[in-house]
Structure 1
Amino acid sequence: MFVDKVRIYVKGGDGGAGCLSFRREAHVPKGGPDGGDGGHGGNVVLEADQSVSSLLDYRFKHHFKATRGTHGMGKRMHGATGDDLILKVPVGTVVHEYSEEKKETGELIADLTHDGERVIVAEGGHGGRGNIHFVTSTRRAPAFAELGEPAQECWIELEMKLMADAALVGVPSAGKSSLIARMSAARPKIADYPFTTLVPNLGVVQGDEHNFVVADIPGLIEGAHEGKGLGHEFLRHIERTALIVHVVDMTGGYEGRDPVEDYRIINNELAMYADELAQRPRIVVANKVDVPGTEDAVRRLKEEVRKDAIAAANGNEFADGVDEASRVFEISALTGKGVDSLIHAIADKVFELRSAAKEAQEGEVQYDQVWQHKREQRDRKYTVRKLSDGIFRVEGVQIERMVVQTDWENDEALSFLQHRFNRLGLEKELLKAGAVNGDEIRILGRAFEFETAESTEDIFAELDD
Structure 2
Amino acid sequence: MSQFTDISRINVKGGDGGAGCTSFRREAFVPKGGPDGGDGGRGGNVVLECDPQLSSLIDYRFKHHFRAERGTHGQGARKHGRDGEDLVLKVPCGTVVTELDPETMTSRYQIADLTHPGERVIVGPGGTGGKGNIHFVTSVRRAPAFSEKGEPAFEHWIELEMKLMADAALVGMPSVGKSSLIARMSAARPKIADYPFTTLVPNLGVVRSGQAGSFVVADVPGLIEGASEGKGLGHEFLRHIERTALIMHVVDLTGGYEGRDAVEDYKTINHELEAYAPELAERPQVVVANKCDMPGTSEALERLRQCAAADGHAFFAVSAVTGAGIDSLEAACAEMVSKLRAERELDEEPLRNDVWEQRRIRRDNAISISNLGGGVWRVSGAAIERMVIKTDWENEEAVAYLQHRFDRLGLDKALAKAGCVTGDTVRILGYDLDYAGDDDVDEFAELQEDEPVITVGEIALANEDQDAQAPFGEAAQDESVGEEE
Taking structure 2 as the reference length, what is the TM-score of the superposition? Answer: 0.86
Deviations 1:28-57 (A, max 9, x none): 111011111111111111111111111122
Distance 2:240 2:378 in 1: 46
Distance 2:157 2:147 in 1: 32
| In structure 1, distance between residues paired with 2:178 and 2:19 | 60
Aligned amino acid, residue 332 of structure 2: A
1:350 aligned partner: 337
Structure 2 gaps of 5+ residues are 454-485
Shift of 1:433: 2.1
Picking from 11, 28, 31, the partner of 1:9 is 11
Question: Which deviates further from its counterpart, 267-276 or 235-244?
Answer: 267-276
Residues 34-49 of structure 1 correspond to what in structure 2 (within 5 A)? 34-49=36-51
In the aligned structure 1, how far is the partner of 2:413 from the partner of 2:39? Answer: 32
CA contact (8 A) 1:386 1:433 kept: no
Query: Counterpart in 2 of 1:293?
Result: 296
What residue number does 1:383 align with?
A: 369
User: How far apart are residue 447 of structure 1 and its match?
Assistant: 4.2
Secondary structure of 1:145's aligned partner? coil
Q: Deviation per CA, 1:239-286, whole angstroms, max 9, x where unpaired?
A: 100111111111111111111111111111111211111111111111
Shift of 1:220: 0.9
- CA offsets 1:396-435 (integer angstroms, 9 cap, x no match): 4333222211112222112111212222334456664234
Q: 1:315-464, aligned counterparts within 5 Å? A: 325=313, 327-363=314-350, 366-378=354-366, 381-383=367-369, 385=371, 388=374, 393-427=378-412, 432-436=419-423, 442-447=427-432, 454=439, 457-464=441-448
Q: 1:428 to 1:275 in 2, by over 3 A?
A: closer
Q: Contact 1:418 / 1:453 at 8 angstroms: preserved in 2? A: no
Helix, strand or coil: the match of 1:61? Answer: coil
- Tell me the alpha carbon deviations over residues 304-348 of structure 1, each in whole angstroms, 9 at most, x when there is no partner: 111112xxxxxxxxxxxxxxx4x4212111122221221122111
Spell out the pairing of 1:62-211 with structure 2 (5 A cutoff). 62-209=64-211, 210-211=213-214
Distance 1:25 1:335 in 2: 92
Q: Confirm or deny: 8 A CA contact 1:4 1:159 kept in the other structure.
A: yes
Change (3 A) 1:344 1:185: same
Confirm or deny: 8 A CA contact 2:422 2:437 kept in the other structure.
no
Asked whether the 8 Å contact 2:365–2:382 carries over to 1, the reply is: no
Query: Aligned to 1:73, what secondary structure does the other structure show?
Result: coil
Report deviation, 1:66: 1.1
2:311 counterpart SS class: helix
- CA deviation after TM superposition for structure 1 residue 441, in Å: 5.1
The corresponding residue for 2:54 is 52
Shift of 1:373: 3.8
Taking a change above 3 Å as real, the CA distance of residues 258 and 427 of structure 1, as seen in their structure-2 partners, is closer
**Is contact 2:364-2:382 (8 Å) kept?**
no
Partner in structure 1 of residue 263 of structure 2: 260
In 2: Cα distance, 1:188 partner to 1:240 partner: 21
Partners in 2 of 1:202 and 1:21 — Cα distance? 62
Match of 2:272?
Answer: 269
- Partner SS, residue 383 of structure 2: helix
Deviates more, 1:103-112 or 1:394-403: 394-403
* Alpha carbons 2:404, 2:442 under 8 Å: kept: no
Q: Whole-Å Cα distance in 2 between the matches of residues 279 and 428 of structure 1? A: 49
In 2, Cα distance between the equivalents of 1:419 and 1:155? 35
RMSD: 2.0
> Which structure shows the bigger proportion of residues in helix conformation?
1
Partner of residue 214, structure 1: 217
Deviations 1:420-461 (A, max 9, x none): 22223344566642342xx76543333456656847x12112
- Asked whether the 8 Å contact 2:379–2:427 carries over to 1, the reply is yes
Amino acid at match of 1:421: F
Distance 1:393 1:297, change over 3 A: closer
Contact 1:205 1:213 in 2 (8 A): yes
Deviation (angstroms), 1:228:
1.3
Structure 2 vs 1, CA of residues 217 and 419 (structure 1 numbering), >3 Å: closer, same or farther?
same
CA separation of 1:273 and 1:382: change in aligned 2, threshold 3 A: closer
Give the Cα separation in 1 of the matches to 2:425 and 2:361: 33
How many angstroms does 1:377 deviate by?
3.5
1:110/1:119 contact within 8 Å kept: yes
Contact 1:384 1:430 survives alignment (8 Å): no
1:320 paired residue number: none
Identity of aligned residues (%): 64
Question: Structure 1: 5+ residue runs without aligned partners?
Answer: 310-324
Give the AA of the match of 2:369: T
What is the SS of the residue equivalent to 2:210? coil
Residue 290 to residue 388, structure 1, CA distance change in 2 (3 Å):
same
Structure 2 partner of 1:283? 286
